[in-house]
Amino acid sequence: MLEIKNLEAGVDGKTILNGIDLSINAGEVHAIMGPNGSGKSTLAQVLAGREGYDITAGSVNYNGQDLLELGPEERVHEGFFLAFQYPVEIPGVNTTYFLRAAVNAVREHHGKEELDAVGFLKLMREKIELLELDESLLKRSVNEGFSGGEKKRAEILQMALLDPKFAVLDETDSGLDIDALKIVANGVNQLRRKDNAQLVITHYQRLLDYIVPDHVHVLVDGRIVKSGTKELALELEERGYDWITAVQAA
Amino acid sequence: MSSESEVIDQYVEQEYKWGFYTDVEADTLPPGLDENVIRHISAKKEEPEWLLEWRLKAFRHWQTMKEPCWPQAKYEPIDYQAISYYSAPGAKDKDRPKSLDEVDPKLLETYDKLGVPLHERERLAGVAVDAVFDSVSVGTTHQEELAKHGVIFCSFSEAVRDHPELIQKYLGSVVPYTDNFFATLNSAVFSDGSFVYIPKGVRCPLELSTYFRINAAETGQFERTLIVADEGSHVSYLEGCTAPMRDENQLHAAVVELVALGDAEIKYSTVQNWYPGDEDGNGGIYNFVTKRGVCRGARSKISWTQVETGSAITWKYPSVILRGEESVGEFYSVALANLAQQADTGTKMIHLGKNTRSTIISKGISAGKGQNSYRGLVQMGKNATGARNFTQCDSLLIGSRCGAHTFPYIEVKNPTAKVEHEATTSKIGEDQIFYCNARGIETQDAVNMIVNGFCKEVFSELPMEFAMEAQALMDVSLEGSVG
Ligand SMILES: Nc1ncnc2c1ncn2[C@@H]1O[C@H](COP(=O)(O)OP(=O)(O)O)[C@@H](O)[C@H]1O
Ligand SMILES: [Mg+2]
How far, rounded to the nearest angstrom, does the alpha carbon of residue B186 sit from its chain's CA centroid?
A: 14
pLDDT band at A99 (very low <50, low <70, confident <90, very high): very high
Q: What CATH class does A2-249 carry?
A: alpha beta
- Spatial CA neighbour of B137 closest among B162, B163, B157: B157
- Spatial CA neighbour of B435 closest among A168, A137, A55, A98: A98
Q: Which amino acid is present at B483? A: G
Asked whether residue B10 carries a pLDDT value surpassing 60, the answer given is: no
pLDDT (mean) for B183-188: 96
A37 Cα–ligand 2 center, Å: 7
Ligand 1 binding pocket includes B1 (Cβ within 6 Å) = yes
Residue ranges of domains in chain A: 2-249
In this predicted structure, what is the pLDDT of residue B15?
A: 62
Taking ligand 2, which is a single-atom ion, which protein residues have CB atoms under 5 Å away? A 40-41, 85
Label residue B116 left, alpha or beta by phi (over 0 means left) and psi (-120 to 50 means alpha). Answer: beta
Burial class, A214, CB count within 10 angstroms (exposed 0-12 / middle 13-18 / buried 19+)? middle
pLDDT above 70 as % of chain A: 98
In this predicted structure, what is the pLDDT of residue A222?
A: 95
Q: Which amino acid is present at A204? A: Y
Please report how the helices B181-189 and B49-62 are oriented relative to each other, as an axis angle in degrees rounded to 10: 150
A226 Cα–ligand 1 center, Å: 21
Assess contact for B28 and B90: CB atoms under 8 A. no
In this predicted structure, what is the pLDDT of residue B401?
A: 84
A36 Cα–ligand 2 center, Å: 7
Q: Which residues pair with B376 in a beta bridge?
A: B347, B408
Q: Which residues pair with B337 in a beta bridge?
A: B366
Contact A11 B453 (CB under 8 A): no
CA dist A14 → A17, A23, A33, B152 (Å): 9, 25, 22, 72
Asked whether residue B308 carries a pLDDT value surpassing 90, the answer given is: no
Phi, psi of A215 (to 5 degrees): -135, 145
Choose among B7, B426, B430: nearest Cβ to A91: B426
**Among A79-93, B20-34, B161-175, B440-454, which is the least confidently predicted range?**
B20-34
Q: Three-state DSSP class for B288?
A: strand
Assess contact for A23 and A227: CB atoms under 8 A. no
In this predicted structure, what is the pLDDT of residue A211?
A: 94
If one residue of A7, A42, A86 were mutated to test the ligand 1 pocket, choosing by the most ligand atoms within 8 A of its CB, it would be A42
pLDDT (mean) for A118-131: 89
Q: Which amino acid is present at B267? A: K
In this predicted structure, what is the pLDDT of residue B140?
A: 76
Choose among B431, B443, B450: nearest Cβ to A92: B450
Q: How far apart are CA B85 and CA B190, in angstroms?
A: 8
In this predicted structure, what is the pLDDT of residue A229?
A: 92
- DSSP label at B471? H
Q: Which residue of B has its CA nearest to A90?
A: B432
- DSSP label at B221? B
In this predicted structure, what is the pLDDT of residue B95?
A: 58
pLDDT digits (tens, 9 = 90+) for B383-412: 999 999 999 999 999 888 888 999 999 999
pLDDT digits (tens, 9 = 90+) for A44-76: 999 999 999 999 999 999 999 999 999 999 999
A37 Cα–ligand 1 center, Å: 6
Task: Pick the atom of ligand 1 nearest to A53's CA.
Answer: 1
Ligand 1 binding pocket includes A40 (Cβ within 6 Å) = yes
What is the ipTM metric for this complex? 0.96
Chain B residues interacting with chain A (CB cutoff of 8 angstroms): 1-2, 6-7, 426, 429-432, 434-443, 445, 449-450, 453-454, 456
Select from B397, B437, B456, B482 the residue whose CB has the most chain A CBs within 10 Å, as the one to mutate to test that interface. B437
Asked whether residue A176 carries a pLDDT value surpassing 70, the answer given is: yes
pLDDT band at B295 (very low <50, low <70, confident <90, very high): very high
Please report how the helices B443-459 and A95-109 are oriented relative to each other, as an axis angle in degrees rounded to 10: 150
pLDDT (mean) for B220-240: 92
In this predicted structure, what is the pLDDT of residue B105?
A: 73
A43 Cα–ligand 2 center, Å: 9
In this predicted structure, what is the pLDDT of residue B101?
A: 72
Q: Which residue of A has its CA nearest to B3?
A: A52
pLDDT (mean) for A214-232: 93
- Spatial CA neighbour of A244 closest among A221, A225, A229: A225
Choose among B431, B443, B445: nearest Cβ to A88: B431
The DSSP result for A15-69, as a single string, is: EEEEEEEEEE-TT-EEEEE--TTSSHHHHHHHHHT-TT-EEEEEEEEETTEEGGG
Ligand 1 binding pocket includes A11 (Cβ within 6 Å) = yes
Q: How far apart are CA B483 and CA B465, in angstroms?
A: 32
Assess contact for A78 and A66: CB atoms under 8 A. no
Higher pLDDT, B157 or B477: B157
Contact B434 A162 (CB under 8 A): no
In this predicted structure, what is the pLDDT of residue A172?
A: 94
Ligand 1 binding pocket includes A41 (Cβ within 6 Å) = yes
Task: Pick the atom of ligand 1 nearest to A36's CA.
Answer: 23
Q: Three-state DSSP class for A154?
A: helix
Asked whether residue B138 carries a pLDDT value surpassing 80, the answer given is: no
- Spatial CA neighbour of B427 closest among B462, B394, B475, B384: B394
Asked whether residue B475 carries a pLDDT value surpassing 90, the answer given is: no
- Spatial CA neighbour of B448 closest among B465, B464, B470: B470
pLDDT (mean) for B164-184: 96
pLDDT digits (tens, 9 = 90+) for B339-371: 878 888 899 999 999 999 999 999 999 888 888
Assess contact for A59 and A91: CB atoms under 8 A. no
**Nearest chain A Cα distance for residue B139, angstroms:** 40
If one residue of A8, A11, A199, A219 were mutated to test the ligand 1 pocket, choosing by the most ligand atoms within 8 A of its CB, it would be A11
A247 touches chain B (CB under 8 A): no
